[in-house]
């Protein structure tokens, strides 16, 4: 086997593999709210506000969005970073964790004593 034939064979194999990977990527064409990178509430809010075109199959609770539309939406919307100031960091350093761990919420209601005992 000469060198040129080996390169052509490898190139053809890589081309087929790349096409298969692209097909896998586009095979998952729809994204529901449970698998959305926006999170469930963000996904549903974006559809409700008309920022994303959603589709709800008949008899289903899922709200589907095309992955292509979701990727385009994510590329144009960025999350703003929260600025941390020195005062907030100082307050966090002074926080007493033992007081938080010692706190226990009272029970919601007491159990009734059964008269069968």
Cα 6 off chain centre by:
43
Q: Are the C-beta atoms of residues 65 and 43 closer than 8 Å to each other?
A: yes
In the sheet that holds 54-55, the strands lie side by side as 30-31, 64-66, 54-55
Q: Is the pLDDT of residue 94 over 70?
A: no
Q: Would you state the pLDDT for residue 45?
A: 94
Residues 26-75: pLDDT tens digits?
Answer: 556 888 999 888 889 999 999 999 999 999 888 889 999 998 898 889 88
This prediction has a pTM of 0.46
């Amino acid at each position: 086997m000469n060198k040129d034939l080996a390169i052509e064979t490898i190139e053809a194999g890589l081309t087929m593999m790349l096409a298969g990977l692209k097909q896998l990527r586009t095979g998952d064409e729809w994204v529901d709210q449970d698998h959305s990178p926006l999170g469930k509430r963000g996904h549903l809010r974006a559809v409700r506000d008309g920022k994303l075109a959603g589709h709800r199959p008949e008899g289903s609770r899922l709200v589907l969005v095309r992955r292509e539309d979701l990727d385009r939406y994510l590329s144009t919307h960025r999350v703003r970073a929260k600025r941390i100031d020195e005062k907030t960091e100082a307050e966090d350093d002074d926080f007493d964790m033992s007081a938080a761990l010692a706190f226990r919420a009272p029970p919601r209601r007491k159990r009734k004593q059964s008269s069968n005992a």
